[in-house]
């Protein structure tokens, strides 16, 4: 190798070593800079704060739920026989008025048996009349008037009252009271052949039609009262303390805008384990109500002192708020009284408390903030 080549080789080596040393220093500085930045104090968050003055006001409790009919009755036969063809033919959805004849079971045989029993009683009293005239003359005209007014097609009238114990023994010995009460039982049973509407309403289902043979206990259909409805709405324990049974409620069908008046009737004694709310029952009335209709409304609660209206999103852990004190985050306890849309009505906020109303995620007590 020539001297010139040696010089070039040595120069190249010096240059390469110098470049390597320079790169090493640059990388070292970058590493130190990264570590320094990551270990530099904690991140300062920017949040939005707001003051919420306390005042005395009535809480508004939002409610909603579905309307259900209070009275839904399964109509069952108490006697056996064939359904008569004289009654109006009802079908699913048919309306009826209170007192309308819904089902009529043929009762010709029962009516004839009843008349035969009345004839037997009439005969028994007639045969006893000579003894009554002789032994109890003061009661003869009363018993005679009873026979004169005897009508086989009308309900049996009460027996004349005995004037003396001896007369009572005599009448009992003739089995007259026994026949009388047996006939009254038959009269009551005859009423079961005609089934009348206990209220005005609608048929939800009809399971038997004229000509069908029915037996005791057979389900003839289901009817519903269209004038009495109830809505069930969940309510929290805190909200339940602000209302009471008998309080009026304004409800609305959002699809039509029509309003209905309701009255709180009662509260359930059982809490829903999933939502930790208590079912509240509201009686609802008004034209146009239907079973299954969805209604929304609000209740005006009792006046509460020291009540603040804040955004729901500011609440953490259901009963706490973040507040800023001396540019750091602190927590305060609150009590939620009710909700109004996207807002909550709470107590526990002091006038000087600056509540964090934005960027609450991942905040922690003691964190430094800008605002």
Q: What is the CATH number of the domain that holds 360?
A: 2.40.420
Same domain, 219 and 359: no
pLDDT score for 333: 92
Residues 118 and 237 in one domain: no
| Torsion sign, CA atoms 89, 94, 97, 98 | positive
Residue 210 lies in a domain: yes
pLDDT band at 38 (very low <50, low <70, confident <90, very high): very low
The CA distance from 101 to 82, in Å, is 16
pLDDT of residue 304: 79
**Are 75 and 220 in the same domain?**
yes
The pLDDT, as a whole number, for residue 34 is: 41
**37 band by pLDDT with thresholds 50, 70 and 90:** very low
Q: In which domain, by residue range, is 19 found?
A: 1-38
- Could you say which DSSP state residue 138 is in? H
What CA–CA distance (Å, rounded) separates 293 from 248?
A: 19
Q: For the chain, what is the mean pLDDT? A: 86
pLDDT digits over 243-262, tens only? 889 999 989 998 888 999 89
- pLDDT, tens digit, for every residue of 278-293? 999 999 988 889 999 9
- State how far the Cα of 160 lies from the Cα of 340, in Å rounded to an integer: 71
Q: Is the pTM of this model over 0.75?
A: no
The answer as to whether 309 is a domain residue is yes
Only one residue has tokens 């005006």, namely 300
Tokens 């108490």 identify what position? 78
What is the average pLDDT across 112-126?
Answer: 95
CB 245 within 8 A of CB 264: yes
234 and 296 part of one domain: yes
Angle (CA) 180-183-189 rounded to 5° is 145
Choose between 353 and 14: higher pLDDT: 353
Per-residue exposure over 156-167, b if at least 16 CB sit within 10 Å of its own CB, e if not: beebbebeeeeb
Which tokens go with 37? 């930045």
80 and 214 in a common domain: yes
Instruction: Tell whether 43 is covered by a domain.
Output: no
| CA–CA gap between residue 169 and residue 65 (Å, rounded) | 66
CA 234, 238, 242: angle at the middle one, nearest 5? Answer: 90
**Percent of the chain predicted with pLDDT > 70:** 88
């Amino acid at each position: 190798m020539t001297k010139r080549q040696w010089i070039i080789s040595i120069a190249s080596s010096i240059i390469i070593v110098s470049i390597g040393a320079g790169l090493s220093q640059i990388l070292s500085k970058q590493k130190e800079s990264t570590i320094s930045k990551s270990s530099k104090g904690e991140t300062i968050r920017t949040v939005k704060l707001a003051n919420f003055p306390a005042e005395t006001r009535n809480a508004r409790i939002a409610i909603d739920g579905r309307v259900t009919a209070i009275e839904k009755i399964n109509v069952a036969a108490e006697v056996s026989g064939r359904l008569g063809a004289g009654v109006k033919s009802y079908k699913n959805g048919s309306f009826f008025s209170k007192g309308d004849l819904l089902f009529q079971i043929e009762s010709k045989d029962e009516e004839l048996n009843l008349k035969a029993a009345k004839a037997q009683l009439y005969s028994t009293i007639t045969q006893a009349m000579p003894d009554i005239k002789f032994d109890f003359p003061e009661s003869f005209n009363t018993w005679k008037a009873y026979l004169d007014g005897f009508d086989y097609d009308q309900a049996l009238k009460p027996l004349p009252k005995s004037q003396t114990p001896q007369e009572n023994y005599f009448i009992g010995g003739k089995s007259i009271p026994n026949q009388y009460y047996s006939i009254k039982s038959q009269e009551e049973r005859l009423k079961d052949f005609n089934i009348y509407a206990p209220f005005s309403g609608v048929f939800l289902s009809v399971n038997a039609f004229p000509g069908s043979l029915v037996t005791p206990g057979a389900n003839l259909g289901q009817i519903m009262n269209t004038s009495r409805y109830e809505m069930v709405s969940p309510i929290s324990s805190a909200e339940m303390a602000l209302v009471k049974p008998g309080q009026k409620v304004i409800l609305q069908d959002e699809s039509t805008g029509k309003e209905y008046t309701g009255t709180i009737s009662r509260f359930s004694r059982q809490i829903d384990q999933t939502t930790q709310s208590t079912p509240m029952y509201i009686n609802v009335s008004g034209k146009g109500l239907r079973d299954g209709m969805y209604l929304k409304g609000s209740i005006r609660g009792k006046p509460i002192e020291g009540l603040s209206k804040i955004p729901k999103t500011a609440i953490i852990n259901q009963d706490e708020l973040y507040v800023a004190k001396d540019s750091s985050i602190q927590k305060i306890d609150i009590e939620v009284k009710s909700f109004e849309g996207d807002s909550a009505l709470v107590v526990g906020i002091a006038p000087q408390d600056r509540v964090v109303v934005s960027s609450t995620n991942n905040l922690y007590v003691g964190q430094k903030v800008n605002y």
